[in-house]
Amino acid sequence: MIPTTRVLFLLALIVGMLTARLWPTYAQQDQSTTLTLLQPVTGEINDSQVEQRWTFTASKGQRLSMRMQATSGDLEPSIELLDAAGKLLASSGSGSYRNATIDAFVIPDAGTYAVRVTRAKTDKPTSGGYSLSLLPGFSFLLINDPTGARSPMRVWREPNALAQFSEGKLRLQLTADNSYTFTTADKIGVFKDLYMQAEMQAEPISGYWEGGLLLRGTRRNNALEFYLFFINSDNKWRLAYGRPGGMTPIHDWTALPGTLQATSTLGAMLKGHHFILFYNGQPLSELDDETLGEAGVFGVAIGTGRSPSNSTSVLFDNIVVTLPTDEAASVPIIVPPRLTHWQQTALSILEELLAARIIPSIGKPGLDVADAFVTNNTAKGIVVQPLARSISFTDLVYTADVSWESNNENIACGMEFRAADDKNFSIVYLDRKGGFGILQRSEKDGDIVSMYNLSDAIKKDNRATNRVTIIAIGNSLMVYINGGLVANVNGKQVAGSTFIAAYNYERASSVCQFKNVWLRAFDR
Q: 3-class SS at 354? A: helix
Long-range own/partner contacts, residues 144-149 (CB < 8 A, 24 or more apart): 144/38, 144/320, 145/317, 145/318, 145/319, 145/320, 146/319
Alpha-carbon span 179 to 462, nearest angstrom: 61
* Dihedral, CA of residue 442, residue 445, residue 449 and residue 450, to nearest 10: 80
- Give 4's DSSP letter: S
Residue-range domains of the chain with CATH: 7-19+345-521 (2.60.120.560), 32-138 (2.60.120.380), 144-323 (2.60.120.560)
Rounded Cα gap, residues 131 and 125, in angstroms: 19
DSSP summary character for residue 261: P
In eight-state DSSP terms, residue 325 is H
Burial (CB < 10 A; 0-12, 13-18, 19+), residue 290, is exposed
Say how far apart CA 469 and CA 399 lie, in whole Å.
Answer: 4
Give the separation between CA 483 and CA 461, rounded to whole angstroms. 18
Residue 213 has phi, psi (to 5 degrees) of -105, 140
Pick from 92, 90, 89, 86: nearest CA to 132: 92
pLDDT for the residue 163: 96
CA–CA distance, 72 with 51 (Å, rounded to integer): 16
N-to-C CA span, the chain = 34
| Cβ proximity of 4 and 21 under 8 Å | no
- Distance from C-alpha of 363 to C-alpha of 323, rounded to nearest angstrom: 23
- The CA distance from 125 to 103, in Å, is 25
Q: How much is the pLDDT for 7?
A: 39
Residues facing residue 157 across a β-bridge: 162
Specify the pLDDT at position 363. Answer: 72
Q: What is the 3-state secondary structure (H, E, C) of 89-108?
A: EEECEECCCCEEEEEEEECC
**Residue 106 has what pLDDT?**
96
Q: Tell me, what DSSP letter sits at residue 49?
A: B
Other Cβ atoms within 10 Å of 453 Cβ, number: 11
Residues of the chain with pLDDT under 50: 1-31, 95
pLDDT of residue 12: 30
Separation of alpha carbons 213 and 314, rounded Å: 12
* CA–CA distances in Å: residue 157 to residues 146, 148, 161, 201: 20, 15, 6, 20
